[in-house]
Amino acid sequence: MRFVDFWRRYVEAKMAQKTHCKGKAEMVPKWSPPPGGFLKVNIDASTGRDSMRGVGVIVRNNKGDIMVAEHKSFRADWDVDTMEAFAVFYGLKMCWEVGYQRIEVEMDSKIVVEALNRRKNLQNYTSTFIHDAHTLGSLFTSISFSHVRRSANVLAHELARLALASEGGKIWLRECPPRIAALIELERQCTLLKCSVLND
């Protein structure tokens, strides 16, 4: 809970100071809702000890409400790019199975996003998962892939980190783990203060 406690103290300090983010240094990217009729899918991957790997996926609507959240852990000797590419395929598979058709995918791996948008060629397992993501993505009514900074992808990042502490996977429908719920509350407080506290 150390991460959540840190941000809670930061928000409280901002409230006490009545800071409104007038300086450019504080104008960092944060999560933004999708347009009406679309869902925002944030995806991330993590690596741990002993070849442990984690994936985090969270889907939210234009009101910021959670539609579904999921994390999964497993062991593999994949590098970071391969993990990020697999995470995208895993997230798309989850969305397809749930029945979502109009989605905006965001992640903080610029290399993988460029590959998904066909601006970069990757090799080995990474290219395989990119191909699989393209194939599955073609089935959606509308889909886009965008790169964002970690500060705009923090919920998926934390889900992927939580996955490393568990075996297998878990899915939440219209709810989420307490740690993620606390981060969402901080995000809402931040919006009310007109400042971004979810910085890198």
pLDDT at 114: 95
pLDDT in tens, 147-190: 999 999 999 999 999 999 988 899 999 999 998 999 988 887 77
- Here the CATH number for the domain that contains residue 124 is 3.30.420.10
Given a contact cutoff of 8 angstroms between Cβ atoms, the answer to whether 94 and 41 are in contact is no
The domain in which residue 60 lies consists of 2-193
Given a contact cutoff of 8 angstroms between Cβ atoms, the answer to whether 31 and 42 are in contact is yes
Is 199 a domain residue? no
Is 198 a domain residue? no
Is 27 a domain residue? yes
Is 179 a domain residue? yes
pLDDT at 186: 84
Is 150 a domain residue? yes
pLDDT at 185: 87
pLDDT at 8: 60
pLDDT at 124: 79
Is 22 a domain residue? yes
pLDDT in tens, 97-126: 999 999 999 999 999 999 999 877 887 789
For the record, the structure tokens of 131 come out as 């191909």
Is 200 a domain residue? no
pLDDT in tens, 60-96: 999 999 999 999 999 999 999 999 999 999 999 999 9
Is 187 a domain residue? yes
Count structural domains, the chain. 1
Q: What is the mean pLDDT of residues 20-24?
A: 44
pLDDT band at residue 54 using 50, 70 and 90 as cut-offs:
very high
pLDDT at 9: 61
